[in-house]
């Protein structure tokens, strides 16, 4: 159920509506769209009539939700959600470009990559420090030491850092150091982790699972939103299909579908979507043309010797070339690649 308050409602009227919602054994979630207060509820199936809510002072309209993802739906929040990450307004005109290696391998590697992608035009830095790998014998990341290297890279470049969290036990450490908590594809339905990041007040980048539907992605986002964390970015990263010529199949449809169904920002990861550096630029261009709010691209100074995902990683010069193309498409779409504030940058 969605209750939209009148623009001239009083605080007392709003409190009364919230009290009536709770009295009907419903859980209210209060959001604002400009001056308008919107209450979205959980568990409305047992409510036979909307009249007890419609007659309350200050209420403008009441309607049932037709989508199971209530808080993330445009029915609950018609306007795009826009929120800041390191000075960048994500979800609006500005396009977020997250770039960096699959894994932090050393201090020199992440600092070199950070400066290279920053100079090319990226506005956020990625790097894995806790790596969920298919094989237990593969490189698992540098852990807390890698996180320290990322923090140093942020200090030198001014870019916010995006780091994957793989367990709720890492939450305190991550919240202390990172700007965006990434929930990876393998953890999209790790509901304990989703609840934990929902209670954190850090932006969350939620990647679509390997075989997840769009509705399942949005329902996973709902766990985070229901916890009170409204700064969620959805990420399409390719899905598993019968096709074997690429690592995954890029679901470019997901971008306009997500933008239609949800008010949350939606970005695309062309590196995992293709699994091959030769195809990354083309899919990145398509994503921006389709209306994506950003990109997440793997970049490595020496892909041939990368500890993980070298085949899909761009060299810095190829990334710079790709970003020039993306900027041109963004301009056609009436958007821009958000710049990093120069006052934050420590020159080498």
Residue among 237, 171, 162 nearest 198 (CA): 171
Alpha-carbon distances of 259 from 40, 142, 266, rounded to whole Å: 20, 36, 7
pTM over 0.95: no
CA distance 184 to 170: 14
Total domain count, the chain: 2
What pLDDT does residue 316 have?
97
DSSP 21: H
DSSP 275: S
What pLDDT does residue 348 have?
46
- Name the token pair of 72: 């993330």
Q: How does strand 124-126 pair with strand 161-164?
A: parallel
Q: Encode pLDDT of 153-183 as tens digits.
A: 999 999 999 999 999 999 999 999 999 999 9
If asked whether residues 32 and 140 sit together in one domain, one would say no
Tell me, rounded to whole angstroms, the distance of Cα 95 from its chain centroid.
12
What pLDDT does residue 43 have?
67
Over residues 249-260, mean pLDDT = 97
Question: Chain-wide mean pLDDT for the chain?
Answer: 92
Residue 343 has pLDDT above 50, yes or no: no
Tell me, rounded to whole angstroms, the distance of Cα 4 from its chain centroid.
27
Q: Is the dihedral of CA 186, 260, 97, 198 positive or negative?
A: negative
Q: How does strand 94-100 pair with strand 294-298?
A: parallel
CB 298 within 8 A of CB 309: yes
* CATH number, domain containing residue 31: 3.30.70.1140
Q: Does some domain include residue 187?
A: yes
If asked whether residues 106 and 215 sit together in one domain, one would say yes
Is the model more confident about 257 or about 348?
Answer: 257
* CATH number, domain containing residue 300: 3.20.20.70
- Name the token pair of 62: 């009441």
Q: How does strand 180-183 pair with strand 203-207?
A: parallel
If asked whether residues 246 and 337 sit together in one domain, one would say yes
CA distance 265 to 329: 18
CB 294 within 8 A of CB 97: yes
If asked whether residues 215 and 287 sit together in one domain, one would say yes
Residue 345 has pLDDT above 70, yes or no: no
If asked whether residues 91 and 56 sit together in one domain, one would say no
If asked whether residues 133 and 272 sit together in one domain, one would say yes
If asked whether residues 88 and 116 sit together in one domain, one would say yes
If asked whether residues 114 and 27 sit together in one domain, one would say no
If asked whether residues 220 and 321 sit together in one domain, one would say yes
If asked whether residues 313 and 216 sit together in one domain, one would say yes
Backbone angles phi, psi at 28, to 5 degrees: -85, 145
| Neighbouring C-alpha atoms within 13 Å toward the C-beta of 85 | 33
Cβ within 8 Å of residue 135, ≥6 positions away: none
Helix, strand or coil for residue 59? strand
If asked whether residues 18 and 110 sit together in one domain, one would say no
Find the domain containing 291 and state its range: 83-344
Q: Encode pLDDT of 216-233 as tens digits.
A: 999 999 999 989 999 999
If asked whether residues 7 and 125 sit together in one domain, one would say no
């Amino acid at each position: 159920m969605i209750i939209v308050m009148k623009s001239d409602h009083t605080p007392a009227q709003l409190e009364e509506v919230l009290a009536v919602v709770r009295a009907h054994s419903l859980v209210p979630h209060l959001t604002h769209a400009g001056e308008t207060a919107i209450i979205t509820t959980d568990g409305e199936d047992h409510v036979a009539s909307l009249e007890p809510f419609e007659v309350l002072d200050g209420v403008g309209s009441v309607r049932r939700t037709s989508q199971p993802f209530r808080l993330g739906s445009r029915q609950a929040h018609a306007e795009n959600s826009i929120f800041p990450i390191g000075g960048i307004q994500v979800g609006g005109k500005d396009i977020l470009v997250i770039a960096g290696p699959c894994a932090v391998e050393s201090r020199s590697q992440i600092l070199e990559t950070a400066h290279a992608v920053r100079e090319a035009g990226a506005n956020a830095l990625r790097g894995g420090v806790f790596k969920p790998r298919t094989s237990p014998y593969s490189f698992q990341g540098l852990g807390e030491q890698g996180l320290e290297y990322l923090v140093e890279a942020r200090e030198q470049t001014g870019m916010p850092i995006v780091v994957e969290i793989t367990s709720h036990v890492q939450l305190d450490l991550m919240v202390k150091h990172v700007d965006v908590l990434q929930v990876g594809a393998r953890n999209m339905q790790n509901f304990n982790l989703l609840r934990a990041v929902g209670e954190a007040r850090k932006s969350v980048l939620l990647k679509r699972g390997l075989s997840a539907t769009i509705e399942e992605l949005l329902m996973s986002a709902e766990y985070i939103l229901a916890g009170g964390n409204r700064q969620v970015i959805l990420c399409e990263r390719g899905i598993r299909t019968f096709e074997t010529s690429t690592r995954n199949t890029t679901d470019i449809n997901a971008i306009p579908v997500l933008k239609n169904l949800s008010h949350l920002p939606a970005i695309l990861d062309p590196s995992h979507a293709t699994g091959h550096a030769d195809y990354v630029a083309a899919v990145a261009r398509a994503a921006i043309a389709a209306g994506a709010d950003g990109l997440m691209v793997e970049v490595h100074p020496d892909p041939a010797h990368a500890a993980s995902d070298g085949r899909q990683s761009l060299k810095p010069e190829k990334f710079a070339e790709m970003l020039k193309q993306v900027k041109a498409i963004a301009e056609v779409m009436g958007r821009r690649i958000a710049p990093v504030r120069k006052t934050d940058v420590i020159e080498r």
